[in-house]
């Protein structure tokens, strides 16, 4: 008996559904009429409402009342225990001057400080004769033969010289330049503290010391036993002795780092 064929049905569309019935709107109730109301009285009219509060005032808005000026603290400049301004005391402590040394040595130290800034101005200062060293002032004098050096330190170079002196003495220092004669000496009434003992410049002092040193050295050489024996043996004599080294100066005492506490 032959097999029965199998039939498969695909893509079968379902039958269309019937549309849903449209819902009916709810029944509208009957309109009811109320009697007309009169004008509102009492709180309904707004009579019992509180008054409108004032607008808040901004903290940045200017006030009608002037504010008192702020109290300013008194300006007090810091001072040391001696009452001198602090910046002046620190400037004095940073200076290189040592008041305990002799006056001419103090002046030589000041010229050495000047030499570090300008050798030309230091040479002209060394040719000046020291008159006095006072607080904030240094006075020197020049004879007529040293007019060139006077012009060097009293002309356009004065600012350079006074700057170096101020750094050396630790305070603003003014340079006073005067004239003097070749043989002038300090007057008796001017030979007090801070005044030179005599009118002699550092250049003149150095030349005098060098001449004395050369003379002393020549005498020691001529009197040396070995030199005398050589001259006797050769039958010669010494005509001239040239001294190349310079006299050694004692090392200056260092400046005290702490201020003097004595009353």
pLDDT in tens, 48-90: 565 666 665 555 455 555 566 666 655 545 444 454 444 444 4
Give me the mean pLDDT over the 215-233 stretch: 86
Number of domains in the chain: 2
Same-domain status, 211 and 109: no
The answer to the question of residue 46 being in a domain is: no
Strand positions, DSSP E, the chain: 129-134, 137-142, 174-179
The answer to the question of residue 190 being in a domain is: yes
182, 106 in Cβ contact below 8 A?
no
The answer to the question of residue 212 being in a domain is: yes
Q: Which domain holds residue 215?
A: 202-244
Closest CA to 157 of 119, 127, 109, 131: 119
121, 99 in Cβ contact below 8 A?
no
pLDDT one-digit tens code per residue, 161-199: 999 999 999 999 999 999 888 777 654 434 444 454 457
The answer to the question of residue 164 being in a domain is: yes
Tell whether pTM > 0.85.
no
Q: How many CB atoms lie within 10 A of CB 149?
A: 22
Q: Can you tell me which residue has the tokens 């109730």?
A: 29
The answer to the question of residue 258 being in a domain is: no
Same-domain status, 231 and 163: no
């Amino acid at each position: 008996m032959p097999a029965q064929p199998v039939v498969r049905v695909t893509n079968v569309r379902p039958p269309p559904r019937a549309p849903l019935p449209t819902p009916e709107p709810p029944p509208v109730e009957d309109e009811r009429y109320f009697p007309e109301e009169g004008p509102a009285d009492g709180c309904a009219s707004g009579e019992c409402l509180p008054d409108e509060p004032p607008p808040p005032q901004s903290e940045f808005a200017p006030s009608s009342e002037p504010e008192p000026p702020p109290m300013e603290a008194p300006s007090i400049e810091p001072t040391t225990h001696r009452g001198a301004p602090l910046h002046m005391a620190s400037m004095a402590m940073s200076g290189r001057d040592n008041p305990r040394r002799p006056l001419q040595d103090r002046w030589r130290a000041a010229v050495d400080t000047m030499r570090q800034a300008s050798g030309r101005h230091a040479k002209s200062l060394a040719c000046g004769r020291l008159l006095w060293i006072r607080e904030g002032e240094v006075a020197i004098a020049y004879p007529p033969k040293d007019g060139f050096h006077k012009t060097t330190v009293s002309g356009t170079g004065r600012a350079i010289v006074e700057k170096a002196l101020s750094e050396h003495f630790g305070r603003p220092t003014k340079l006073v330049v005067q004239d003097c004669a070749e043989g002038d000496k300090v007057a008796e009434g001017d030979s007090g503290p801070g005044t030179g003992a005599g009118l002699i410049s550092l250049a003149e002092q150095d030349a005098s010391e060098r001449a004395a040193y050369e003379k002393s050295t020549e005498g020691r050489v001529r009197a040396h036993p070995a030199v005398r024996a050589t001259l006797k043996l050769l039958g010669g004599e010494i005509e001239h002795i040239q001294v190349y080294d310079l006299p050694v100066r004692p090392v200056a005492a260092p400046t005290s780092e702490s201020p003097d506490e004595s009353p």
